Amino acid sequence: MGLPYRGDHAGQILFGPADGYLYLMMGDGSHRDDPYNFAQNKKSLLGKIMRLDIDNIPSAVEISEKGQWGNYAIPSDNPYIDIKELEPEI
């Protein structure tokens, strides 16, 4: 994910009890005070909550074409899924 510092990589991983999706909370990757504003930047996955569908795993070709960093699908009702310049995982 391009972590700029050694600190604040922590987050939480859990499954939503109602929808069964994987929720991945990612730190902003900063050592202090998020100097690059990753948490406010919707083009960055740092400092975000990502919602992923791991039961609907796409093919390796689809993963490569979409530029994803893992084997997961993006739920169709994620808020930014249709906005090309933003990260659909958020």
Any idea where the domains of the chain sit in the sequence? 1-75
- What pLDDT, on the 0 to 100 scale, is given for residue 68? 64
- pLDDT of 19 higher than 90: yes
Vertex 43 angle, CA 49 and 17, to 5°: 20
User: Which band of pLDDT confidence, cut at 50, 70 and 90, is reported for residue 15?
Assistant: very high
* Average confidence (pLDDT) over 57-66: 69
Q: How confident is the model at residue 85 (pLDDT cuts 50, 70, 90)?
A: confident
* Beta bridge pairs of residue 15: 22
Does residue 59 or residue 18 have the better pLDDT?
18
- The average confidence (pLDDT) of the chain is 80
What is the amino acid identity at position 81?
A: I
What's the confidence (pLDDT) of residue 22?
93
The structure tokens listed for 24 are 């991945």
What's the whole-model pTM score? 0.73
**pLDDT of 78:** 92
